[in-house]
Structure 1
């Protein structure tokens, strides 16, 4: 389609939202509306407050470009393309729909919550471009921004009880409310919304599954590599806030400075605390959802085990070699070394003396044959696999759960000793397999197999959005719900297969108690 033709098509793509009309663009296959505000810019007096509705506009807003990325520190070890410059006016979302979908078409909706350890990432990342998922017209795709780092997850209530908690979570809730009120105009069904996300985004999803504030905002969920147990109580969150205030040079009674402090100073303090916390206390994050007895009433995994999560179908799973990415980046976010692992267990034992920690011999037996890489297995399972299994064990009592493990890796990733590392499933879910001519992922081959893996994953994810059942195509193995009798698990690889009780040894070693920091 020529530029002039695209512009002409775009001129008719006006959708009226609750805040004002937006004009998207159509490439002949997929329509897209980008950078739609769902909340006012969280700046000045709104910086540490819950999201508020944006100021209404009357003329059609140009929705052909993504909005600003939420402020975040950059890290040369993580050279991701955020897709846009940073800025305060960042609470926006993007919508994709096949060209033939009209308002009122009642298509299922998939709402993406990006990952990034609660400190980085955006809805505008090219990896999350929704064209491939939306192209066949099976669902409307939405990607959302939320506040990050200290700006989204710092608990300042000890300094002043007027400061709101869990701002990043509240942003996602506001985006989901926007979807409920507006998505019909884009062809989506507000009563068939599936939230999906990875890493921190998946952690937000497992947290919202246990949040009363999320009731009725989604009818299904997909959690990819959720750090479901990385949720902390007020005591820990206030210690983090004290470190942040100290780094910022904030004195008692100076909380008014937080509204006017330069964003750059806040990001510098945020990065210092983020880097420092997992070194001081291996296995913990500086910024994460907290139990505020408001948005988050208690530990989500415990609420799942108590049968108190929202009764919606859930896909949940992890990657086979989660920890390999953190080893490759030399990141302290996961405790991989024996010293870090011992420190983590010692801290948990000190916090919770009545908690029965797993027996060292059982742990070694579960990881027999791993040699020097035992730490990689322990880090993977305490950080991602066991929290996902623990959550699945509880949530299956209130709704169908489908457990998976992603094992596929290209020859290049295997050569680099990354394998199916953390986040490597993302291009397959989105159908965005090749990032450009210099993309090394498929340099040694694997693209044909990768395209087949991607097609199967997208079909299952989209079918799940339709009716809560992740059916594949004809000939694909039937992915059964995760039940006590067989604990069926889908292994996603060059050839998918369903295995009964894949994690039996791990469950035996780690036990039924939920191991986490408070």
Structure 2
């Protein structure tokens, strides 16, 4: 049943002169016909926001789509972008720059509803949260928001960097794709009932890291593209500069027959190749500095310090206050590292090798300190005795401590508001398997379990954890977290429209270090325990040296 607030809003839409948006929307360059559903939400799927990034447009900033006179039926998801390592996924394509819009069917061109613009994750090497349906979030907001999600180039196609690309192309084109969507929203979202002056960035994992990179882009320049950000499990990966990334380019051109000894224009040669050839030769390799016995990083292609879009390491820019000051909501999961780390880890030597495989600047002295900070932890069946130990180290270094550092930097340099969370909803199956409360599992609650494809460690299941669905043990957390998120999207504060009975979410301060712990029927504020505070303080102090 709709609330009184929603009924009042719907009645306003029916006043003379406030016509609902027609599913057929003319963007100037193309017209798209969306689909109005009985849920009260209209969907526009597969809207092209940029030209196909093929051939000469590989490793270049996105360009405007070519105009079309035909009406395009916006009822089918566009293909997602090609991943690294290369796969034979038939749902992926190099022609992948599409976005999707979900809006209340009764919204009008004058509604000016808040916009939630979501940047999906996947380690910058794959798109792991594509095609999430915004219906549940819109309903939770009492039909008061619009949801946008989209694809962007990843892996080899999005983040290959070299001097050749600097000379005849663009670096960080995956981030430039994202930037183009932000600009697209400014131009066109009013046609769907959205307010271009009220855009809240959302994102998970690499999508959350992307949010921070947009806040820091061009030295923290504010282009007015967003007014707040709600981010889940931001990751601080290994950041290289152009010269440090050159080995990746050199390896690719050799594999595909475009090496320096074969052609003069190696980049031109790469641009002539069919994508199937690139995908067949698209895999990760170890950092050259790591020597014999090293393994490849989980995510090799990462945003590159190029001196323009990205001017320095994330930690340094945070410490300098070089970012756009807007209200933020950041957080992570209690066991953020478990889905990434080798379950057969048995010795500290194996743990050290895994860590340096991910961050090649780690020194023996730093590894020794990390080993001391992370003693042996719980042991689970069918896993090595140090699996949870390496998971704790990786999870805090890459995901969990960055959230605390972000909260502290914003609380020092900004008065806009900073809210931090720890997600601690325990799914029985995940707990039994030893994953605990794993990376980005909160997406199942934020979007509604029926709207996500999750569980990256168990792709075959393709669904959210069973305990989140109606009638199950964690179903009650869905309205609570949706209340906080949609309140933040609508008012830049998670408390304004939170669900009745939900506790007040206090702001983070560098001195108090209080965050909310989101858990089924037991959500509560907590002070970060001293152990995590001290570990994170050391990791943050060494973050620049470790190339984060």
TM-score normalised to structure 2 length = 0.82
Decide whether the 8 Å contact of 2:85 with 2:282 is kept in 1.
no
2:285 paired with 1:268 = no
2:426 paired with 1:420 = no
Q: Aligned in 2, Cα 1:187/1:85: closer, same or farther, shift over 3 Å?
A: same
Once residues 146 and 364 of structure 1 are traced to their aligned partners in structure 2, the CA distance between those partners, rounded to angstroms, is 36
Q: Aligned in 2, Cα 1:465/1:484: closer, same or farther, shift over 3 Å?
A: same
List per-residue Cα deviations over 1:232-261 (Å, max 9, x = no partner): 222332222222223333212232111111
2:34 paired with 1:24 = yes
Partner of 1:486: 512
2:30 paired with 1:15 = no
2:77 paired with 1:66 = yes
**Aligned match of 1:394 in 409, 413, 416?**
409
SS in 1 for 2:277: helix
**Aligned match of 2:532 in 494, 506, 509?**
506
Deviation at 1:386, TM superposition (A): 1.3
2:58 paired with 1:47 = yes
Once residues 235 and 275 of structure 1 are traced to their aligned partners in structure 2, the CA distance between those partners, rounded to angstroms, is 13
2:164 paired with 1:196 = no
Partner of 2:136: 132
- Structure 1, 466-475 or 209-218: larger mean CA deviation: 209-218
Deviation at 1:376, TM superposition (A): 1.9
Q: Aligned in 2, Cα 1:191/1:274: closer, same or farther, shift over 3 Å?
A: farther
List per-residue Cα deviations over 1:110-146 (Å, max 9, x = no partner): 0111111212226643xx1111112331210000110
2:439 paired with 1:450 = no
Partner of 2:188: 182
**Aligned match of 2:212 in 206, 210, 219?**
206
Structure 2 gaps of 5+ residues are: 1-19, 380-384, 454-460
2:389 paired with 1:374 = yes
- Structure 1, 172-181 or 272-281: larger mean CA deviation: 272-281
Matched residues, number = 497
Partner of 2:503: 477
Deviation at 1:73, TM superposition (A): 5.2
Deviation at 1:439, TM superposition (A): 5.5
Once residues 487 and 284 of structure 1 are traced to their aligned partners in structure 2, the CA distance between those partners, rounded to angstroms, is 31
Once residues 26 and 368 of structure 2 are traced to their aligned partners in structure 1, the CA distance between those partners, rounded to angstroms, is 56
Deviation at 1:387, TM superposition (A): 1.9
TM-score normalised to structure 1 length = 0.86
Deviation at 1:345, TM superposition (A): 6.7
Once residues 348 and 54 of structure 1 are traced to their aligned partners in structure 2, the CA distance between those partners, rounded to angstroms, is 37
SS in 2 for 1:112: strand
Once residues 289 and 468 of structure 2 are traced to their aligned partners in structure 1, the CA distance between those partners, rounded to angstroms, is 38
2:266 paired with 1:258 = no
Q: Aligned in 2, Cα 1:378/1:266: closer, same or farther, shift over 3 Å?
A: same
Once residues 518 and 360 of structure 2 are traced to their aligned partners in structure 1, the CA distance between those partners, rounded to angstroms, is 39
Partner of 1:112: 118
Q: Aligned in 2, Cα 1:351/1:416: closer, same or farther, shift over 3 Å?
A: closer
The alignment yields a C-alpha RMSD, in angstroms, of: 3.4
**Aligned match of 2:398 in 378, 383, 394?**
383
Q: Aligned in 2, Cα 1:154/1:348: closer, same or farther, shift over 3 Å?
A: closer
Decide whether the 8 Å contact of 1:229 with 1:299 is kept in 2.
no
Structure 1 gaps of 5+ residues are: 1-9
Partner of 1:314: 328
SS in 1 for 2:534: helix
Partner of 2:104: 98
Once residues 161 and 60 of structure 1 are traced to their aligned partners in structure 2, the CA distance between those partners, rounded to angstroms, is 39
2:420 paired with 1:408 = no
2:162 paired with 1:156 = yes
Q: Aligned in 2, Cα 1:411/1:350: closer, same or farther, shift over 3 Å?
A: closer
Decide whether the 8 Å contact of 1:157 with 1:164 is kept in 2.
no
Decide whether the 8 Å contact of 2:21 with 2:107 is kept in 1.
no
Once residues 58 and 405 of structure 2 are traced to their aligned partners in structure 1, the CA distance between those partners, rounded to angstroms, is 35
SS in 1 for 2:278: helix
List per-residue Cα deviations over 1:33-83 (Å, max 9, x = no partner): 11111100001111121000001223332211111221225789xx9xx8x
Decide whether the 8 Å contact of 2:52 with 2:95 is kept in 1.
yes
Partner of 1:220: 228
